[in-house]
Amino acid sequence: MASVYIALDQRLDRNVALKVMRDDLSRDESFVQRFRREARSTAILSHPNVVAVYDQGEDDGHVFLAMELVNGLTLRQVMQSEGPLSPRAALDILDPVLQALGAAHSAGLIHRDVKPENVILRDDGMVKVADFGLARAIATPTSTAETGILLGTVAYLSPEQVERGISDARSDVYAAGLLLFEMLTGTKAFNGDSPIQVAYQHVHHDVPSPSSLVDTVPVELDHLVARASARDPEGRPRDANELLAEMRSSRQALSVAELDQGPAVAAGAVASPTITLSRTMVIPRTMQSSGTEPTPGSHASGSRWHLPPSGPLRRRPWLVALIALALVMSAGSLYFFTVGPGGKTAVPRVVGSTSAVARQALATSHLEAVVVRSFDETVKAGLVLACDPPAGREIRRGSTVTLTVSKGRERYDVPELVGRTQAEAEQRVTDALLMVGKVSKAFSETMPQGQVISTSPAAKTSVKRATPVALVISRGREPIQLADWTGQPVDQAVAAITAATLKVDATKQAFSDTVPKGSVVSQSPANGSLFAGELVTLVVSKGPELVVVPNLISQQEAPAKATLEALGFTVKIERAFGGIFGTVRLQSTPPGTKAPQGTTITLTVV
């Protein structure tokens, strides 16, 4: 249904597994709904053995889930590497799987696709169950007969899913039983050339006993597999919680030896021949009792032994002791140089096998294993790279053979460096067996000067030894040069100052005879350097102040002129007929009109 990527959650600065639905399926609403249901199904399961879903959404037609990133191996990879597992290892894995499924069943959900690929063994040993994409509520219909679509992996489908297209919690129990069978035997319960052949076997055949393939499997686990994988759902435990209780009960019935009993050594391991000494000595015929005591000088035909002529052995106890001592020394020498520590054995061929298989092969050849580990770019972790002495060489029993086991590719995590000083960051990079790469500087509004803003590669990225790690060091806050906006339109000033990430207060206003209305009369600060978020105050012009022109008609010239000048006007006198009376007869600006200060008003005096 989807592709899965490793992605960075930039908000929380963590790696996640990003599951993006295929483009052709994202156009199918039924698949989109099933995809979204995975997020809702898993979101209600708060359990340590369930892979968590963090988010779900859609971006430009791409439907996605953001999930917990689990570093480790799937159970399929573990079984391909290790082969059949011991009962203890199999039950150690099955227990948390059933806990996860039990939590789902208790929450009213069924998984419907339990298989080794959906069981992940994290690097620290934690077992996680993934991919609840087919999960459905137990209470809702789960039949697929109408759609004709059978969901799940055919190798682990229950008979009722194949035959009737229905499933419930017992279908998960059936798949868990097949999971246990496969861990114990290293092979699927049913195989075939086509999915139809496999599905037919689910319906018409019982799951074989694991001990029929690996005879060391205890009978209690045979019964557990048979109970979980019963063809009739009524014969199975009701849910994973009930199967978990039965599994733990079966485990308690097993001894330590039965739990740790491994399967047969993998093909290719060379076992040394074993020589078995009889505990019974065969006495030659002449030494056996015949009912009569031999006489001196008597001799039996074909005998390798004869009695000394001086009389019976019981008369010479020292001779009996000498013969017994010789026999004991002969037997001891034979034991020492054959099956004892003086014997020799050939070093088996173990290169390429897993560490556990190699140890078992050496133990079978009566050799001790000492394991050293080494990185290797091509050989998977856990496989033997070399052994010393090499395969085929004959050495004494009990000798030590050094196994060099691969640690996988040599990778190191980039340490968390953000917020540390440059010196601290460089030391941590060196301590992590990496190299300090390019060091650059950049302004930062949040990180103090001299501290690391970011790294490339990012923290927790797994890289090769000596990989350069680039550092970006903070230069502190970036200074912003403030321009002088005096006399400029206020809307232009506000837009420019805001774009420079500064705050603006343009609420103050003032009259101005020189600055047009709506332009900046003054600003504070007038200029200089500021930092993002700091305040710039602008005083906006209201234009010149207007004054009401008084009525001066019939007043004398001198007081009328004084009145206008006191109001800030400029006065011009025109005299008619010589202005002999000195009385104002006309004024150029009508009384009651508002005019700016400085306006010239002409008075006509008669």
Is 298 a member of any domain?
no
CATH number at residue 64: 3.30.200.20
- Structural domain ending residue among the three candidates 68, 96, 118: 68
pLDDT, residue 273, reads 32
Report helix angle 240-252 to 169-185, nearest 10.
40
| Residue 309 scores a pLDDT above 70 | no
Q: What average pLDDT score do residues 198-216 get?
A: 90
pLDDT at 289: 37
Whether residues 123 and 174 share a domain: the answer is yes
Identify the residue with better confidence: 327 or 2: 2
Q: Is the pLDDT of residue 467 over 60?
A: yes
Q: Which long-range contacts (CB under 8 A, 24 or more apart) does 32-41 make?
A: 32/63, 34/1, 34/133, 34/134, 35/1, 35/2, 35/63, 35/65, 35/133, 36/63, 37/133, 37/135, 37/136, 38/65, 38/131, 38/132, 38/133, 38/135, 39/65, 41/104, 41/109, 41/132, 41/135, 41/136
**Residue 28 lies inside a defined structural domain of this protein:** yes
Residue 54: band (very low, low, confident or very high) from pLDDT cuts 50, 70, 90: confident
In a domain, 282, yes or no: no
- Kindly report the pTM of this predicted structure: 0.45
We report the CATH number of the domain holding residue 380 as 3.30.10.20
Q: Which two tokens stand for residue 128?
A: 């996680």
> What per-residue confidence (pLDDT) applies to 452?
96
Give the residue, 266 or 405, on which the prediction is more confident. 405
Q: What 3-state DSSP class applies to 470? A: strand
Q: Does 554 lie in the same domain as 442?
A: no
- Among 59, 113, 123, 239, the one annotated catalytic: 113
C-alpha closest to that of 555 among 594, 586, 578: 586
pLDDT at 324: 64
What type of residue sits at position 298?
Answer: S
pLDDT above 70 for 598: yes
pLDDT band at 541, cuts 50/70/90? very high
Question: Are 19 and 42 part of one and the same domain?
Answer: yes
Indicate whether 187 belongs to any domain.
Answer: yes
Same domain, 127 and 177: yes
Residues 343-361: tens digit of each pLDDT: 788 898 889 889 888 898 8
Q: What is the pLDDT of residues 149-204, one digit of tens each?
A: 444 578 899 998 888 878 899 999 999 999 999 999 999 999 888 888 888 899 88
Which pLDDT belongs to residue 180?
97
Assign 393 a pLDDT band (cuts: 50, 70, 90). confident
In this model, does residue 217 exceed pLDDT 90? Answer: yes
In the prediction, which pLDDT does 229 show?
94
Q: Is residue 289 part of a domain?
A: no
Q: What is the pLDDT of residue 364?
A: 86
Residue 508 and residue 536 in contact, taking contact as beta carbons nearer than 8 Å: no
pLDDT digits (tens, 9 = 90+) for 407-439: 998 999 999 999 999 999 999 999 999 999 999
Same domain as 138, residue 244 = yes
Residue 2 φ/ψ, nearest 5 degrees:
-155, 165
Please write the tens of the pLDDT for every residue from 231-285: 999 999 999 999 999 999 999 999 988 898 877 533 333 333 332 222 223 333 3
pLDDT at 301 over 50: no
More confident of the two residues 338 and 168: 168
Report the percent of the chain where pLDDT is more than 70: 83
Q: Which residue has the tokens 């200074």?
A: 479
Please check whether residue 548 is in contact with residue 577, taking contact to mean a CB–CB distance below 8 angstroms. Answer: no
Co-location of 121 and 222 in the same domain:
yes
pLDDT, one tens digit per residue, over 108-133 is 888 888 999 999 999 888 999 988 75
In this prediction, residue 310 has a pLDDT band, given cuts at 50, 70 and 90, of very low
Residues 530 and 568 both lie in one domain = no
CA–CA distance from 497 to each of 77, 494, 538 (Å)?
Answer: 60, 5, 11
- What is the predicted pLDDT for the residue at 134? 54
113 part of the active site = yes
Same domain, 87 and 7: no
What is the mean predicted confidence (pLDDT) over 486-490?
A: 93
CATH code for the domain of 173:
1.10.510.10
Question: Which residue range forms the structural domain that includes residue 419?
Answer: 412-474
Answer whether residue 296 shows pLDDT above 50.
no
- Better pLDDT: 334 or 377: 377
| Planar angle of CA 391, 393, 394, nearest 5 degrees | 130
Residue 435 and residue 462 share a domain: yes
Of 456, 474, 492, which residue is a domain's last? 474
Which tens digits make up the pLDDT trace of 64-109?
888 899 999 999 999 998 889 999 999 999 999 999 999 999 888 8
Neighbours of 444 (CB within 10 A): 19
- 22 lies in some domain: yes
Identify whether residues 46 and 174 lie together within a single domain.
Answer: no
Q: Does residue 291 form part of some domain?
A: no
268 in a structural domain: no
For residues 464 and 290, give the distance between their C-alpha atoms in angstroms, rounded to a whole number. 84
pLDDT (0 to 100) of residue 133: 56
| Mean pLDDT score across all residues of the chain | 83
What DSSP character marks residue 458?
A: P
> Quick check: 36 pLDDT over 80?
no
pLDDT at 2: 81
Any idea which residue has 């009792």 for tokens?
289
pLDDT at 285: 34
For residue 537, is pLDDT > 70?
yes
* pLDDT the model gives residue 21: 86
- Total domains in the chain come to 6
> Rounded CA gap, 368 and 333, in Å?
23
Q: Is the pLDDT of residue 314 over 60?
A: no
Could you tell me the pLDDT band of residue 297, with boundaries at 50, 70 and 90? very low
Kindly state the average pLDDT of the residues 372-388. Answer: 91
Same domain, 169 and 217: yes
Give the Cα-Cα-Cα angle 304, 307, 312 (nearest 5 degrees). 150
pLDDT of the residue at 496:
93
Boundary residue ending a domain (20, 37, 68):
68
Give the residue, 43 or 252, on which the prediction is more confident.
252
Tell me what the mean pLDDT of segment 52-69 comes to: 86
Rounded mean pLDDT, 124-149: 60
State whether 529 and 493 are in the same domain.
yes
